[in-house]
Amino acid sequence: MRMLRSFFLRIALILSTTALLCLLLMAATFWIQGQYNDLVFTSVLAALALLWVVCNWLVVRIVDSELSYEVARLLLPSGMVLSVILSWLLAEVLRDMLRSGKGIEHYVLLFAGIGVAVILGIRCFEIRWLRAEAEVAATERRERQGRPQGR
């Protein structure tokens, strides 16, 4: 159960970071295009996404502070793929929202997904230094038992 919780918390953090980057790029594109109503809309969505990223990051730090080897082997490659898919989906939304209808302005969002995927790919090289799931769970159990009951 700990592995599933760790996976879902961290994949939500990866995808919300990708969504935040894409929404910021969408807002910048609307600002350049002079579509100020869409700029306000995407800026509000980006602010909400930023709030979600910060809350999600805090929850991950409090609830699941250490990533295990087994979770990282599944998390990083799936995060790479899902990040690119999410950025492509948001690029298609941007293409439909642009009034010009032509051009390649929406392709800039793919670079956000590819950038997150590259960062996750670099993190794949650090997997061998992570501890095993059983060791991480045992450490968490020991820390929980050592804490005073009032907290």
Average pLDDT of the chain, as a whole number: 88
In a domain, 112, yes or no: yes
Q: Which residue has the higher pLDDT, 98 or 118?
A: 118
Q: Which domain holds residue 98?
A: 2-146
State the pLDDT at residue 138: 83
State the pLDDT at residue 106: 84
In a domain, 39, yes or no: yes
Region of residue 67 (left: phi > 0; alpha: psi -120 to 50; beta: else) = beta
State the pLDDT at residue 150: 53
Backbone angles phi, psi at 98, to 5 degrees: -70, 135
* Whole-Å CA distances, 137 to 54, 65, 68, 124: 25, 11, 9, 22
pTM exceeding the 0.75 threshold for the entire prediction: yes
In a domain, 116, yes or no: yes
Task: Report the percent of the chain where pLDDT is more than 70.
Answer: 95
In a domain, 29, yes or no: yes
Total domains in the fold of the chain:
1
HSE (side-chain half, CA atoms, 13 Å) at 77: 6
In a domain, 71, yes or no: yes
In a domain, 151, yes or no: no
- When pLDDT is averaged across residues 6-31 and rounded to a whole number, the result is 93
